[in-house]
Amino acid sequence: QVQLVESGGGLVQAGGSLKLSCAASGRTFSSYAMGWFRQAPGKEREFVAAISWSGGTTSYADSAKGRFTISRDNAKNTAYLQMNSLKPEDTAVYYCARRVAGLGYVSTRVEEYGYWGQGTQVTVSS
């Protein structure tokens, strides 16, 4: 089985920073692209950032560019999302996800990820 567990969420004031972690278990973590998505109340789950299996390619939503950084440490089976200059509109439940078996390239599409964590709440106060 593949399990993803997010941590690092919390309450932060606008302009502050948080670093989310996604600890993964299961077979061949390093072979899969990883992504971060978020979902605010009443809204659809949306793409935030993704990273290829090697870490050499990243992709960001326009809303995240220049503020967020995705990274991974395959030796620790962990993906990260560093979030800086947070805004109230960043408030959401953040999910990490892994692409389906054997796919190591970045994707921005929810439907192209096969495994999801339980989510971690990020709340940014004004």
Q: In whole angstroms, what is the distance from residue 74 CA to residue 67 CA?
A: 23
Q: In whole angstroms, what is the distance from residue 48 CA to residue 36 CA?
A: 5
**How much is the pLDDT for 1?**
75
Q: In whole angstroms, what is the distance from residue 34 CA to residue 96 CA?
A: 7
pLDDT tier at 101 (50, 70, 90 boundaries)? low
**How much is the pLDDT for 5?**
95
Res. 106: pLDDT tops 80: yes
CB 110 within 8 A of CB 45: yes
Find the farthest-apart pair of alpha carbons in the chain and give their distance in angstroms, rounded. Answer: 42
- What is 107-118 written as a DSSP string? ---GGGEEEE--
Question: Helix, strand or coil for residue 43?
Answer: coil
Phi/psi-derived region of residue 85, left when phi > 0, alpha when psi is between -120 and 50, beta in every other case: left
The pLDDT tens digits for 16-43 are 999 999 999 876 566 889 999 999 999 9
